[in-house]
Amino acid sequence: MDEAAGRAGFLRLVNAARAGGGRVIAVGTTAVRALESAAGGDGVVRAAAGWTDLVVTPRRGVRAVDGLPAGLHEAGASHLLVQEAIAGRGTLRRGYARALGHRYLRHESRDARLLLPSAR
């Protein structure tokens, strides 16, 4: 399979998952930015190429991504904005409080959790 066919197949899978009521889980904030950069206002991901300067924030929100496996980050880290855009501030704060209460560690891959919005 050539690269263009691979990209087209990936886009079909992402868009079919969303159209069928499934979730798109991006693995990493870079994947979130890539998918969101290629998503239209309708959430449909279209072929795109090049660099992006998109900053995913709670104010902007997400259109194509429904979840993100993520670790714990220090307050002020830009990754927190992406996490909050996906899961919401309340969900993120409750998750952090619980994780830290159970002695989860920051920046440890074994302490990653799946962030999903509290309501779709």
Instruction: Report residue 83 CA to chain centroid gap.
Output: 7
pLDDT in tens, 65-75: 999 998 888 88
Question: Which range, of 15-19, 27-31, 97-101, 116-120, averages the lowest pLDDT?
Answer: 116-120
DSSP string, 7-36: HHHHHHHHHHHHHTT---B-SSHHHHHHHH
Confidence at residue 26, expressed as pLDDT on a 0 to 100 scale: 95
User: What is the C-alpha radius of gyration for the chain, rounded to an integer number of angstroms?
Assistant: 15
The architecture (CATH level 2) of 3-115 comes to: 3-Layer(aba) Sandwich (3.40)
